[in-house]
Chain A
Amino acid sequence: MNSVKNISMKGKIDLFLKQREPILEDWKHTYYLWRSTPLAMIGTVIIVIFLCIAIFAPLLTSFSPTDQNMNERLLPPSSQHIFGTDQYGRDVFSRVVYGTRVEVWIIFIVSIISIIIGTVVGIIAGYFGGVVDEILMRITDMFLAFPRLVLAMVLTAALGPNLTNTMIAIALVDWTVYARLGRAEAMKVKSQPYIEAIRAIGAKDFRIIAFHVLPMSISPVVVQLTLRMGTIILTAAGLGFLGLGAQPPTPEWGAIVSDGRSYLVDQWWITTFPGIAIALVVLGFNFLGDGIRDILDPRLRR
């Protein structure tokens, strides 16, 4: 204790850096792998642009995404409205731009809800095993027995189609993935000697799960989360397109595509641009996901 107090400021910094060296090394290595995986880089760039658009939406466009202007209905792309206008005279570009906020919000909320339900169910099942495991996994199987979109759309329709309920519904469909993953991880972790040790000291189940099993099981779950973000957007857009997701005038991309459906032949721009936006963002997440998979599993990297 005394020796640390007596050394100079520079010495302290050196000591700090020395202690952090393995972590720093690890970061450097990750950065190197990321740099050498072009897919991951492209994916990251796309997602960063996507997030920037969501943050700076009001700076990118001067038109409101929801105000109608009947004098400017169905205008083709021009210098003023670069993506044209829709049947209510709304600027398609600003609808797509403000749509990024809706999509980010969807990804964020769905991820949080589904990861909480999923890891809680999964870790409890994996940790306790036996009857608890059997019951929880059969419940998971029941949710997995539906094709994703079908369950999501029945849930949204039942809760009442709007943005909040869409997010709840997608989360209720998506948690099963994390439950299975969390269970497998918890089963691996719980048989480790250090869990045995803290149990011998007298730690209770709750403490072991919350402070020892959970932190060790969470990283594959988080990786899986990035892999699934593209799917979340596609499901939300599919629901919006069917009229069972976000309701007009919310600028959700799937709903905008659906708006333009009846004008497809002569006013192609209403449908085309939001579709490109969805495809690009999902592509970004898929690139990033593939890249992460490559980094984590070098065997697949060819």
Chain B
Amino acid sequence: MKLGTYILKRIFLMVIVMLGVATIVFFITHIIPADPVGAILGGNAPIERIDEMRHQLGLDKPVLLQFFDYLRGLVHADFGVSLKSNRPVLTDIINYFPATIELSIVSMIFAVIVGVVLGVFSAIYRNKPVDHFSRVFSILGVSMPVFWLGLLLLLLFYYNLDWLPGGGRHNLFIFPTHITGLLLLDSIITRDWIAFWDVLRHIILPAFVLGYASAASIARIMRASMLDILRQDFIRTAKSKGLPKRVIIYRHALKNALIPVVTVIGLSFGSLLSGAVLTETIFSWPGLGRYIVNALLVLDYPAVTGGTLFIAFIYSLANLLVDISYATLDPRMRV
């Protein structure tokens, strides 16, 4: 299959899947026993008020009609109005999303660097102390609950040592200029180094907590893949040619060993978004995950629907990009 055809086919499939996702989300939030009107008005609201509210939200229409209204809205990127903030859900998502993306990007960079370095050293110095350390680090990373690790680090670095701030994206008295919404990038663009330093201090702990599990799985795959490559014939050839160890490892082995890691990075993105929900809750990080959790707790269903759909969309998009880049690298994947 040609690359162009493959990409078109994948995009077509993604559109179908997203339609299904929209349907699933709609039915979860509309057919369920939980009563949003009751949640907004409280249990003692007069019956007329409840009816009025139901009419206002369109809940008195037949479910199928509601469903078509909702799909029509989606086509125009209209997710409805949040019951809690009274703003269009899309505006809220645009406000909250950059925080999640910034956190995910920084965690991913951390995870890739730490994971690859640990994996490589672990493979080169197999069964040496570095290897043992790295394996313990990895297995702890995939076993510790994200929220618990976050709380303990907060206790240590914020309450006890007071080295790092205890939550939020920046100090209340420092106002970084918003251009892209990614505060680290914005403060670099405006050369506002005070803000940059402040934002950096705020992101360290959440990024570490969020990236730890991904770093662990990357280190594991990197180690296995590196060991696999190091046993292959062309490495032996390189050795017998008398190439220095450094050249063999960095120029020959590492390049080939990195390929499976690309897949893991793609797969990690989903667990990263899951972890972001917990990390954002602990560190009062004003991102999309926390937005959805708060919306769920008060049954603000337009916000839940919009936020969930948006996260599913981003996640699918990321998977699509990973698949396409993989297909570009390796034609065998285009089936």
Residues of A within 8 A of B (CB): 138-139, 141-143, 145-151, 153-155, 157-160, 230, 234, 237-238, 241-244, 254, 257-258, 261, 264-265, 268, 271-272, 275, 278-279, 282-283, 286-287, 290, 300, 302
- Tell me what chain A mostly uses at the interface: helix, strand, loop, or mixed: helix
CB pair A150–B148 under 8 Å, yes or no, is: no
A159 to B33: give the CA distance in the assembly, Å: 6
Q: Tell me the nearest residue of chain B to A275, going by C-beta.
A: B148
A139 and B145 contacting across the interface, CB-CB below 8 Å: no
Known A-B contacts A150-B292, A150-B308, A153-B296; A264 and B159 likewise in contact (beta carbons under 8 Å): yes
Question: For residue A261, which residues in chain B have a CB less than 8 angstroms away from its CB?
Answer: 151
Contacts of B273 in A (CB 8 A): 147, 150
Size bin of chain B's contact surface: 35 or more
Q: Is the CB of A302 within 8 A of B151?
A: no
Contact B25 A154 (CB under 8 A): yes
Q: Is the CB of B25 within 8 A of A241?
A: no
- Please state if A147 and B297 are interface contacts (CB–CB under 8 Å): no
Supplied contacts A158-B32, A241-B145, A300-B224, 11 more A-B pairs, CB within 8 Å: A141-B13, A142-B24, A145-B17, A145-B20, A147-B273, A150-B273, A150-B292, A155-B28, A241-B281, A271-B151, A279-B145
| B311: A residues at CB distance < 8 A | 146-147, 150
- Contact A147 to B145, CB < 8 A, known contacts A142-B24, A157-B34, A264-B154: no
Are A238 and B147 in contact, CB atoms less than 8 angstroms apart? yes
CA distance A242 to B276 in the complex (A): 12
CB pair B296–A278 under 8 Å, yes or no, is no
Contacts of B224 in A (CB 8 A): 300
Report if B293 contacts A (CB, 8 A).
Answer: yes
Contact A279 B144 (CB under 8 A): yes
Min CB–CB distance A177 → chain B (angstroms) = 12
A150 and chain B: residue at smallest CB distance = B311
| B77 CB–A CB distance under 8 Å | no
**Which residue of chain B has its CB nearest to the CB of A149?**
B274
The 9 closest A-B pairs by CB, nearest first: A275-B148, A149-B274, A142-B20, A158-B32, A147-B273, A157-B296, A283-B143, A282-B143, A147-B274
Chain B hits for A237, CB < 8 A: 145, 147
Query: Which residues of A are found within 8 Å of B292, using beta-carbon distances?
Result: 150, 153-154
Q: Compute how far the CA of A153 lies from the CA of B292 in the bound complex, rounded to whole angstroms.
A: 9
A–B Cβ pairs within 8 angstroms, 19 of them: A139-B20, A141-B17, A145-B21, A146-B21, A147-B273, A147-B277, A147-B312, A149-B274, A149-B275, A149-B277, A154-B25, A154-B304, A241-B278, A254-B147, A257-B147, A261-B151, A275-B151, A283-B139, A283-B143
Given the known interface contacts A150-B274, A154-B304, the answer about A138 and B140 at a Cβ–Cβ threshold of 8 Å is no
The answer to whether B17 touches A287, judged by C-beta atoms less than 8 angstroms apart, is no
Given the interface pairs A150-B273, A242-B293, the reply to whether A279 lies near B143 with Cβ below 8 Å is: yes
Complex Cα gap A63–B126 (Å): 48
Kindly provide the distance from the CB of B51 to the nearest chain A CB, expressed in whole angstroms: 23
Q: In the complex the two chains form, what is the Cα distance from A254 to B278 in whole Å?
A: 12
Known contacts A154-B25, A241-B147, A286 near B139 by CB under 8 Å:
yes
Which chain A residues lie closer than 8 Å to B21 at the CB level?
Answer: 142, 145-146
- Contacts of A290 on B, CB cut-off 8 Å? 139
User: Does B238 sit at the interface, judged by CB under 8 A?
Assistant: no
Residues of A within 8 A of B308 (CB): 146, 150-151, 154
Q: Per-residue CB proximity of B154-181 to A under 8 Å, as 1/0?
A: 1100010000000000000000000000
Is B247's beta carbon under 8 Å from chain A?
Answer: no
Query: With A and B bound together, what is the CA distance between A145 and B315 in angstroms?
Result: 7
- Does more than half of chain B's interface fall in helix, strand or loop, or is it mixed? helix
Task: Output the least CB separation between B327 and chain A (Å).
Answer: 17
Cβ contacts under 8 Å, A264 to chain B: 151, 154-155, 159
Q: Does B66 contact A (CB under 8 A)?
A: no
Q: Across the interface, do A278 and B145 meet the contact criterion of CB distance under 8 Å? A: yes
A148 touches B270 (CB 8 A): yes
Query: Per a CB cutoff under 8 Å, which of B155, B297, B312 touches A145?
Result: B312
Q: What chain A residues lie within 8 Å of B277 (beta carbons)?
A: 147, 149-150, 153, 238, 242
B window 113-147: CB within 8 A of A? 126, 139-140, 142-147
Task: State whether the Cβ of B248 lies closer than 8 Å to any Cβ in chain A.
Answer: no
Contacts of B34 in A (CB 8 A): 157-160
Per-residue CB contact flags for chain B residues 307-335 toward chain A (1 = under 8 Å, else 0) read 01001100110000000000000000000
Contact A230 B147 (CB under 8 A): no
Q: How far is the CA of A243 from the CA of B290 in the complex (A)?
A: 13
- Least CB distance from A148 to B in Å reads 5
A residues in contact with B315, CB < 8 Å: 145-147
Cα A131 to Cα B227 with chains together (Å): 42
Docked Cα-Cα span, A283 to B316, in Å, equals 30
Max count, chain A CB within 10 A of own CB: residue among B20, B29, B145, B312: B145
Taking the nearest CB of chain A, how far is it from the CB of B259, in angstroms?
17
Known: A157-B304, A241-B278. A278 touches B316 (CB 8 A): no
Alpha-carbon distance A282/B142, docked complex (angstroms): 8
A264 to B21, CA, bound (A): 39
When distances are taken between beta carbons in the complex, the residues of chain B under 8 Å from A300 are 224
- What's the Cα separation between A138 and B15 when bound, in Å? 11
B237 CB within 8 Å of chain A: no
**Does B200 interact with chain A (Cβ within 8 Å)?**
no
CB distance from A228 to the nearest CB of B (A): 12
Chain B window 259-298, contacts with chain A (Cβ cutoff 8 Å), 1 for yes, 0 for no: 0000000000011011101100100000001001100110
Q: Which residue of B lies closest to A282 (CB)?
A: B143
Question: Which residue, A158, A160, A268, has most C-beta atoms of chain B within 10 A?
Answer: A158
> Across the interface, do B296 and A149 meet the contact criterion of CB distance under 8 Å?
no
A275 touching B270 in the complex, CB below 8 Å, given contacts A154-B296, A157-B34: no
